Amino acid sequence: MNDHTLQQLERLVEQCVRPVRTDFADKKRMREDLLSHLSSTFEEELERCGDERAALQQTLRRFGNPADVTHELQQTLSWQHRFSYFTEQIQARQPGESYLYLGMKHFLYALVLSILTSTLILIVRGNNVRTDPATMFWVFAVILAGMSITGSCSQWLVDGMGRALISKSKKSQLRYGLLSVFLYPAAMFAIHLGLMLGPRLGEYQISSSAMLAASATACFGPLVVWLMGPMMAERILYQEKWAAIDLTER
């Protein structure tokens, strides 16, 4: 099979899979299955007719209309797949998306989540809630926003480390490794600071044990970044490879 044929088959696979609203792992499985099937069909047809162009045409004819396949693939999805797709759209960086945009997305998501959580607590507990609603909302917002922004920073570091490992750039590996040392302590200090600046300013103070605990998290950053780096980079490179296929091309 030459490169042109493989590109045509990949394009057909992407036509079927890209519009399907499911998570990364599911789409990967679909792409692998369809591409493997099409490659085998092509080889079978090539053996039969001996001409690559005719074999490709026959393979495409046998496969059927990609829009129908997309529709049927979409129909197979359970609510778990749909939920997983939705959370992935919010949490994970999509191809072409900047980390700033990802951070903003995470921040907005945290705000919505804190409003929902506070409202739910107020509804369930009613008058039994001792803390006033504004403080409760502030605590949730600060913690969730802190966690979500830390999440987007982690993704940036993990991705950078992964790419550095693939390109074997020692300098970049060192840079991302060093930056990751500050990630969790900075996040914890920021959360404490956010709580101090809340509506009941002055009542909340950072204790020395909290500062010690925040400093101790310094070792987790490099560990996360080194362990997840290669996995994340491969995932992003895979997504970028498939996203680069132009479906409008004739």
Partner 1 sequence: MKELNGDKLRGHLETMVLSVLEEGDAHGLEVIRRLEDRGCGLLKLKEGTLYPALYRLQDAGKVKVVREEKPSTGRGAPRRVYCLTRKGKRQLAQGRQEWVQFADLMGSIIGAPA
Q: Of the candidates 7, 40, 167, 207, which one interacts with partner 1 according to CB under 8 A?
A: 40
Least distance from C-beta 31 to partner 1, angstroms? 7
Least distance from C-beta 92 to partner 1, angstroms? 22
Q: Is the CB of 80 or the CB of 119 nearer to partner 1?
A: 80
Does residue 30 touch partner 1 according to CB under 8 A? yes
The CA distance from 2 to 99, in Å, is 37
Does residue 41 touch partner 1 according to CB under 8 A? yes
142, 173 contact by CB (below 8 A): no
Does residue 87 touch partner 1 according to CB under 8 A? no
Kindly compute the dihedral angle of the four CA atoms of residues 10, 15, 18, 20, in this order, to the nearest 10 degrees: -130
Q: Of the candidates 11, 24, 35, 194, which one interacts with partner 1 according to CB under 8 A?
A: 35
Q: Of the candidates 4, 25, 43, 95, which one interacts with partner 1 according to CB under 8 A?
A: 43
The CA distance from 21 to 13, in Å, is 15
Kindly compute the dihedral angle of the four CA atoms of residues 27, 29, 31, 37, in this order, to the nearest 10 degrees: -150
Least distance from C-beta 161 to partner 1, angstroms? 27
Least distance from C-beta 89 to partner 1, angstroms? 21
Does residue 64 touch partner 1 according to CB under 8 A? yes
Where are the alpha helices (H) located in 19-98, listed in sequence order? Answer: 24-49, 52-63, 66-75, 79-91
Q: Is the CB of 68 or the CB of 132 nearer to partner 1?
A: 68
Kindly compute the dihedral angle of the four CA atoms of residues 59, 64, 65, 70, in this order, to the nearest 10 degrees: -100
216, 171 contact by CB (below 8 A): no
Candidates 37-45, 118-126, 134-142, 236-244 — which segment interacts with partner 1 by CB under 8 A? 37-45
Q: Which residues contact 155 (CB under 8 A, 6 or more apart)?
A: 92, 93, 99, 102, 232
Kindly compute the dihedral angle of the four CA atoms of residues 100, 211, 175, 219, in this order, to the nearest 10 degrees: -110
Q: Of the candidates 14, 55, 58, 66, which one interacts with partner 1 according to CB under 8 A?
A: 66
Least distance from C-beta 243 to partner 1, angstroms? 18
Q: Of the candidates 50, 78, 128, 250, which one interacts with partner 1 according to CB under 8 A?
A: 78
Task: Please tell me the total number of residues recorded for the chain in this structure.
Answer: 250
Q: Is the CB of 32 or the CB of 97 nearer to partner 1?
A: 32
Does residue 245 touch partner 1 according to CB under 8 A? no
Binding site for partner 1 (CB under 8 A): 1, 6, 16, 30-37, 39-41, 43-44, 62-66, 68-69, 72-73, 75-76, 78
